[in-house]
Structure formats: structure tokens, C-alpha cells
Amino acid sequence: MAKPLRRVGSRRTGRIGSRKNGRKIPKGVIHVQASFNNTIVTITDVRGRVISWSSAGTCGFKGTRRGTPFAAQTTAGHAIRTVVDRGMQRAEVMIKGPGLGRDAALRAIRRSGILLTFVRDVTPMPHNGCRPPKKRRV
């Protein structure tokens, strides 16, 4: 019986290094999505690859408390803590959504020590919207 050929570069043969602390990121983009029920903070590099993320639900808030400004502040601080350790100094902020956590998340980002190059509101706005439903007939 012939021995199976060893695959070069497979997970079993080569040691896979941890990619978590692999690269230093000097500049990134912080996306804040603030809905009425939750706040999600995602931090990416300039190419759009996710480095860190957090939401009010993962920070331990449940139910209606996820939509509060305090939950958004905690969420932003939790997401930023990991990227500051990896060397991020400058960031752009994109804020989306109508939620209560918009300002609180931005305040937490400013307090973290990261230099903000710009803050942009990227909330989608309908130009004319969807076609309304037909009139109700009784």
C-alpha cells in the first residue's frame, strides 16, 4: 500500500501563526451603525478588512437597554480598546442610522485618543422612496 503524499502548506503540516496581532494598523475606518434597538461599531483598515467589532448585545446589554446612549458608549470603547493596542493613531468615522447612540459613540471615540481625520454621516436617504401600498377598501 502506497503512502499518501504529504500536502505542502496544509494546516496539518505547517504551523499556522496567529493573525490577530500580526500587523500594525496606523490608520483605519470606524463604522458606527446606530439603530433604535442596537448599536454596532466595526473598525476596519483602509482597505475595508475588519479588525475589530462590537455591539451593545455582545457587551452584555439586553432588550431595550441596547439602544441607549450608555450602551453605545460602552460598545465603542470596547471595540476601540483592541485597535489602540495594535497601534492605530488616526481614523475616519462613518456614522449610519437614526439611533440614540450616534453622539454617545462619537464622544467615546473622541475620548479614546485616536485622531479623527473626518466624521461623515452615511445614513441612506430615500430620494423618492418605495411606491406606497394601494388604498384600503372597506
| pLDDT tops 70 at residue 115 | yes
Specify burial of residue 53 (Cβ count, 10 A radius: 0-12, 13-18, 19+): middle
- Local confidence band at 4 (pLDDT 50, 70, 90 cut-offs): confident
Specify burial of residue 77 (Cβ count, 10 A radius: 0-12, 13-18, 19+): middle
**pTM assigned to the model:** 0.77
What whole-number distance in Å separates Cα of residue 117 and Cα of residue 132? 40
What whole-number distance in Å separates Cα of residue 36 and Cα of residue 25? 31
Q: Considering only residues 138 and 119, tell me which one the structure prediction assigns the higher pLDDT.
A: 119
Residue 126: what pLDDT?
87
What are 33's three cell numbers?
451603525
Residue 25: what pLDDT?
85
Provide φ and ψ at 96, rounded to 5°: -130, 135
